[in-house]
Amino acid sequence: MNKCCEWSRCELLHKIQTYDFNLQEISLYLHMHPCDTQAMEYYQYYRQLSEQAKCEFKRCYGPLTNRDNQSDKWKYIYEPWPWEGED
């Protein structure tokens, strides 16, 4: 586990996937019920959790996607690929 992060890379990726799945599901619901304020609060709550988890991942483990690379080198390719798992 990375010393700067309380979650392992795999645990943090799982959290991000869970939050983004919830966002997708509530988005579909909001398409049919756009005036549901409780659903919108739920959406905003998971959007915030997702953003926080993604920021934490980038801080601890580097770019989450190739669009997150902000280095002068293309270091995204040096991170473990999803199927490689953790060492």
Q: Which residue has the tokens 């280095």?
A: 71
43 contacts 84 by C-beta, under 8 angstroms: no
| Sequence-ordered list of residues with C-beta below 8 angstroms from that of 43, at least 6 positions apart, any chain | 23, 26, 27, 30
Q: Domain residue spans in the chain? A: 9-80
pLDDT tens profile 13-42: 999 999 999 999 999 999 999 999 999 999
Global pTM?
Answer: 0.75
CA distance linking residue 73 with residue 57, whole number of Å: 19
pLDDT tens profile 32-87: 999 999 999 999 999 999 999 999 998 888 778 767 666 666 666 666 766 676 55
